[in-house]
Amino acid sequence: MAREAVRYSDSLTLRCQPEVSALIDRAALHKGCKPSEYVRQGVLAALRADGFDPSQDVAPRDAGSLYDLVDGQRRYALIEGGQVVTMSYHATDPAADGRDWRPVTHRDSEPFDIVKHWRLQPEPTIEADGVVVTYPVVLKAAEMA
């Protein structure tokens, strides 16, 4: 069974002596992988050895985790005339000013994978107890994924 290629969206520049670079090339050849994969696996092994498990420490990337609370502040929407006038973050409920402020919840239209998807312009929907902002999730073009 052939493995599906993994695409990485971030890059890391490593500077080292030419001798180290040559050793990485030789070690990767010995392991039967590319030098970038050899270094990637070395970095992951070093993180685990230092007590950082990449599989456990990956931050959630869903819209709610990213946007519902930012720096301890919740997002609220100001509603006037049945329309969302503005959205902003507040440490406390801004409805004390007498206007119709509602809490905002952010959602993705489907489970989001940063490697495979783009988020499009969000679409707010006013509900009785708040505002739901839905991000349409679409597949990246094959050459981008």
Where are the chain's structural domains? Answer: 18-49, 63-139
Q: In this predicted model, what pLDDT tens digit does every residue of 43-83 receive, in sequence order?
A: 888 888 888 777 665 666 789 888 999 999 999 999 999 99
Q: pLDDT value at position 8?
A: 65
Whether 142 has a pLDDT exceeding 60, the answer reads no
Strand residues in the chain grouped as ranges (E): 69-70, 73-80, 83-90, 100-108, 117-119, 123-127, 130-135, 137-139
Q: What is the pLDDT of residues 112-141, one digit of tens each?
A: 887 788 899 999 999 989 999 999 999 987
- Pull the structure tokens for residue 105: 């919840």
Sign for the CA dihedral angle at 88, 90, 93, 95 comes to: negative
